Amino acid sequence: MQDRIAISGLNLHHSFSNVATDQFALHCHPHFEVYYFIHGKVSYLVEGKRYEPTPHSILLMAPGTFHGVRIESCEDYERYALHFEKGMLSENREQLLLSPFYGKTGRQDIYFEGADAFHLEDYLRSLLECDDLEEQQALLSIRLEALLSQILRMNLLSRTTAATVQSRTVDQIVSYLNHSLAEPITLDSLSERFFLSKNHLNHLFKQATGTTVRNYLIHKRVAAAHDLIRQGVPAALSAERCGFHDYSAFFKAYKKIIGASPAEAIRG
């Protein structure tokens, strides 16, 4: 069962089914697509990346994107699929409105959850309501731009939220490192503690601080050991208290960062 509107340059269908499929129906086409998932159990494959959409999530596909859906069970499956050509949009707004389809940092930017908070289903229904209206083409163009404007707003707010979460995570990592200098710290242990892959953790950290976790730790440990040495604590003990368990490695790092050996630093 489905509701549908189709004109030259735009095709929207709101459909229901309850028949599972064995494989992904992979394809690509020369127009833009907004896929709005309401409920069911499906998997979506986009350029080799698999998504398992949650209720009221959307996927955005640009022309030429290789993608397909597999219906995983016979439970009710409901979705909207909107296909349109860029000719439906005003030229002066085209680039801005289509920017979410290409993402900022890669294909992961094309999937969004919680789309119901932005009332996207209402915008899609408004397109279906143009089916029997006069000036249908003009009204569809206006309502399509309204939908894409809301998707753009959702996209921008999602990026801001993601950046805030990442900043908070880096703050937590820095705080943990500063309070745990004497402890054995590895990327593996940090990865487990903060539920991030090692590569992603190091990427976030370097993006925020300008250096790697390892380099940050070495500098902080040397600075802490230097402070202890200036207070009269023997160099070997200072190194151990600050997380260095190999004195030769400590000596080398200390001299490189401080510009003198521990003994020279005391005399200086």
Confidence check: pLDDT of 93 > 90: yes
Q: How does the average pLDDT of the chain come out, rounded?
A: 88
Please check the confidence at residue 161 and state whether its pLDDT lies above 80. Answer: no
Backbone dihedral angles phi then psi of residue 263, each to the nearest 5 degrees: -65, -45
The whole-angstrom separation of Cα 185 and Cα 219 is 14
Examine the pLDDT at 145 and tell me if it is beyond 70: yes
What percent of the chain has a predicted confidence (pLDDT) above 70? 94
Q: How far apart are CA 14 and CA 1, in angstroms?
A: 8
pTM summary value: 0.62
| Average pLDDT of the residues in 208-227 | 89
Least confidently predicted of 118-122, 198-202, 233-237: 198-202
Q: How far apart are CA 65 and CA 220, in angstroms?
A: 47
Give the mean pLDDT of 40-45. 91
Domains identified in the chain and CATH numbers? 2-163 (2.60.120.280), 180-268 (1.10.10.60)
Contacts of residue 227, defined as CB under 8 A and 6 or more positions apart, other chains included, come to none
* Residue 168: pLDDT band with limits 50, 70, 90: confident
More confident residue, 181 or 160: 181
Tell me if 189 sits within 8 A of 183, measured CB to CB.
no
CA distance 83 to 11: 5
DSSP element (H, E) containing 39: strand 32-39
